[in-house]
């Protein structure tokens, strides 16, 4: 079925064009003069197209006058300059095919305000609202921009595995992958579940990060990135955590922490610029309806320089702030969202790259600094969100890495392949991970991460 996107009809086509559009009814108003005004949305843009249907249409009385929100239509007609405010053209219908009616009593998306909480219960239909349509278009545009950014800089796109035997972040937040019968698993003589008899003849998990595998390709091909779903059985019900989220992870050989931070800044600026230029209408909508600082914040990021500060300096500034912190922050404690937000929103008023965290609170793979107690780590913090990127220079020295892994309780044998990179032609290398959903929260102003992914997976919730 050949059809013209509403976006094109509204912005590009001249009055007089004969077109066919397809979409879903938002509102219908029938006037006494023998006309129905239907607003039709097809998801190609925020705006709907006004359809004017005349009583002379053969199915006017039998179908058109009783149309309600949610019905699907294919409409043929002629674009006419519109007398109504706020739209250049409207479509005068010569044929209105009702493909699917929608029962008005039960259709959940009515033309009125719905709460985000309610819309999460109808996630299969919420893409038909302005907000979720706009989120979907932004999500797609940013995904494309991620590939553009890396492809144009000579990075190779690597597909790292979803099923893995390693715990990259060493945090134990893993979902197990098994085909054993949960009710009656095979057991070893000492009574434990015998994973030798499992599908892969070992314990396996959903990946928490593609980094370790990306490192192996960076240490052969130079510059790579992986972009895919990652999984964390993190039992934290916060507006910033998902159990399934999308992460983009570049990894570069012959690169140190400075080069890594520079790339992260350039990358965020690129994404923000793409959002501002290609999704202007969506951003104006979010700025008006959701968070009135969104556009100013994005313009600040695109044009300004990020602040840079070490963990040790940050702790001093946090102590000196005179604030009462819910989580006290003596040297060595992990930085919490409240601290991150203070640094980026109040102290600097722009994105902050926080570096050189205590090694003891960071994963095994981060390179130990010469002071012996900090690691070449970096987090990028942005206003409203806090951490949006986490990364580091990697430990490329075999002995230092082996020592750190052993003291973290890891079995070196399980990571033989990872250690091989340090045995054969080791090289300084670095990378980072950006959570796509955190980025979308930053760009849209939406407070809850459940509203920037089509089907959020969180503790006790995996419907749809
Ligand atoms: O800081 P994280 O845990 O770093 C890594 O996974 C590294 N392996 C990345 C690397 O160096 N290649 O996660 C990176 C980013 C965070 O800054 C955040 O944006 C996002 O991933 N993230 C989450 N987003 C949503 N829900 C969660 N549970 C998240 N955990 C991390
Ligand atoms: Mg992190």
* pLDDT tens digits for range 78-104: 999 998 888 999 999 999 999 999 999
Phi, psi of 133 (to 5 degrees): -65, -45
| Mean pLDDT over each residue of the chain, to the nearest integer | 96
Determine how β-strand 204-206 pairs with β-strand 176-177: antiparallel
- Taking the centre of ligand 2 as the mean of its atom positions, its distance from the CA of residue 352, in whole angstroms, is 14
pLDDT at 425: 98
Residue nearest to atom 27 of ligand 1 (CA): 241
Cβ–Cβ under 8 Å, residues 366 and 376: yes
Rounded to an integer, the average pLDDT of 256-273 is 98
In sequence order, what are the residues at sequence separation of 6 or more whose Cβ sits closer than 8 angstroms to the Cβ of residue 419? 398, 401, 402, 412
Lining ligand 1 with CB less than 6 A are 168-169, 209, 211, 232, 234, 241-242, 245, 247, 249, 387-392, 431-435, 437-438
| Ligand number nearest to the C-alpha of 171 | 1
Report the percent of the chain where pLDDT is more than 90. 95
CA distances from 297 to 132, 141, 198, 420 (A): 21, 19, 50, 44
Rounded to an integer, the average pLDDT of 253-279 is 98
Cβ–Cβ under 8 Å, residues 365 and 350: no
Query: What count of other Cβ atoms lies within 10 Å of the Cβ of residue 111?
Result: 13
Q: In testing the pocket of ligand 1, which one of 249, 390, 450 has its CB within 8 Å of the most ligand atoms?
A: 390
Residue 225 C-alpha from the chain's centroid: 16
* pLDDT tens digits for range 414-424: 999 999 999 99
Closest ligand 1 atom number to CA of residue 438: 19
Q: In testing the pocket of ligand 1, which one of 225, 245, 433 has its CB within 8 Å of the most ligand atoms?
A: 433
- Taking the centre of ligand 2 as the mean of its atom positions, its distance from the CA of residue 62, in whole angstroms, is 59
* pLDDT tens digits for range 367-397: 999 999 999 999 999 999 999 999 999 999 9
Closest ligand 1 atom number to CA of residue 249: 12
Phi, psi of 389 (to 5 degrees): -130, 140
| Ligand number nearest to the C-alpha of 453 | 1
Q: In testing the pocket of ligand 1, which one of 247, 264, 340 has its CB within 8 Å of the most ligand atoms?
A: 247
Looking at 152-247, list the stretches that DSSP marks H as alpha helix, in order from N- to C-terminal side.
Answer: 211-221
Half-sphere exposure in the Cβ direction for 143 (13 Å, CA): 14
Residue nearest to atom 2 of ligand 1 (CA): 390
């Amino acid at each position: 079925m050949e059809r013209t996107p509403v976006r094109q009809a509204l912005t590009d086509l001249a009055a007089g064009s004969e077109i066919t559009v397809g979409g879903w009814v938002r509102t219908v108003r029938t006037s006494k003069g023998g006309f129905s005004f239907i607003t039709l949305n097809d998801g190609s843009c925020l705006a709907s197209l006004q359809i004017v249907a005349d009583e002379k249409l053969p199915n006017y009385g039998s179908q058109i006058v009783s149309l309600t929100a949610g019905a699907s239509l294919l409409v043929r007609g002629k674009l006419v300059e519109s007398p109504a405010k706020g739209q250049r053209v409207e479509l005068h219908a010569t044929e209105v095919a009702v493909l699917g009616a929608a029962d008005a009593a039960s259709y959940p998306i009515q033309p009125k305000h719905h709460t985000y909480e309610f819309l999460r219960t109808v996630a299969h239909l919420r893409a038909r609202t302005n907000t979720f349509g706009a989120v979907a278009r932004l999500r797609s545009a940013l995904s494309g921009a991620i590939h553009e950014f890396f492809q144009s800089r000579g990075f190779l796109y690597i597909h790292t595995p979803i099923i893995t035997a390693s715990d990259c972040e060493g945090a134990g937040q893993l979902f197990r992958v098994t085909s054993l019968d949960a009710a009656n698993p095979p057991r070893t003589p000492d009574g434990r579940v015998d994973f030798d008899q499992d599908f892969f003849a070992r314990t396996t998990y959903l990946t928490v990060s593609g980094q370790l595998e990306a490192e192996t390709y960076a240490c052969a091909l130079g510059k790579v990135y992986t972009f895919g779903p990652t999984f964390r059985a993190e039992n934290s019900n916060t507006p910033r955590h998902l159990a399934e989220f999308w992460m983009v992870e570049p990894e570069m050989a012959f690169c140190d922490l400075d080069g890594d931070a520079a790339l992260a800044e350039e990358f965020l600026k690129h994404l923000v610029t793409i959002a501002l230029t290609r999704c202007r209408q969506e951003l104006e909508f979010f700025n008006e309806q959701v968070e009135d600082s969104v556009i100013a914040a994005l313009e600040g990021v695109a044009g300004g320089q990020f602040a840079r500060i070490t963990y040790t300096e940050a702790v001093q500034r946090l102590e000196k702030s005179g604030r009462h912190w819910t989580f006290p922050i003596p040297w060595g404690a992990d930085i919490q969202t409240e601290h991150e937000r203070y640094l980026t929103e109040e102290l600097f008023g722009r994105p902050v790259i926080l570096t050189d965290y205590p090694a003891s609170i960071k994963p095994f793979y981060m390179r130990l600094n010469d002071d012996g107690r900090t690691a070449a780590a970096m987090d990028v913090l942005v206003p409203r969100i806090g951490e949006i990127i986490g990364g580091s220079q990697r430990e490329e020295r075999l002995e230092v890495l082996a020592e750190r892994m052993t003291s973290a309780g890891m079995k070196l044998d399980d990571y033989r392949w990872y250690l091989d990179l340090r045995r054969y032609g080791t090289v300084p290398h670095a990378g980072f991970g950006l959570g796509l959903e955190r980025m979308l929260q930053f760009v849209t102003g939406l407070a809850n991460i459940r509203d920037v992914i089509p089907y959020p997976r969180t503790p006790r919730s995996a419907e749809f």
